[in-house]
Amino acid sequence: MEDVRSKEQKQQSTLPDDEWFLAYLCKMRGSRCQNLPRATKGEVLISALGSFIGLGLVGLLSELYQLPLLLPSFGASAVLLYAACHVPMAQPRNVIGGHLVSALAGVLVYQIFGDGWWAVSLGVTLAIMTMVLTNTLHPPGGATAFVAVYNGQGYGFIFAPVGIGVLCLVLIALLVNNLSKERKYPDYWY
């Protein structure tokens, strides 16, 4: 893999500017989509059951803490947990760690810099960097950081509603995903 990258880099450095630009644009074509396996009716029902119960609990939390903007972040996590539970970003370490470090990043940025447009951008950027550095990448965590800055959250936000909410989602994923013969969740904890 490294040899291919070094060859491409050497090629790009020797190409004239216009050829390099064309090679750059050609990378954006992509390739043909492979036929992905279709979910069975049972798989769809398991995904629906998990999503309904998990997001129902999170919906109660969002009402209790008066944070309706928290639902989109956890809704995106539900897609991963209940419909794509085998991808690395749906494993408990990523889901729990990603939301918690993102909440911390967002709260820290808000506490130091306030809630300006650039602070929201900084909070999400810091969350991305932290998730990558801690190997807990979970894309919905970016929305959690956004909510922390945008809604001006304090440190308690990290534990409740975020910590409680994410634990509810993972617990429901453990219970529901393993009802299916085709699923085993999690693939790994750490």
Give domain limits for the chain: 54-177
pLDDT in tens, 171-183: 999 999 999 998 9
pTM of the model: 0.85
pLDDT in tens, 119-163: 999 999 999 999 999 999 999 999 999 999 999 999 999 999 999
User: Nearest CA to 128 among 141, 117, 118?
Assistant: 141
C-beta of residue 38 within 8 angstroms of C-beta of residue 57? no
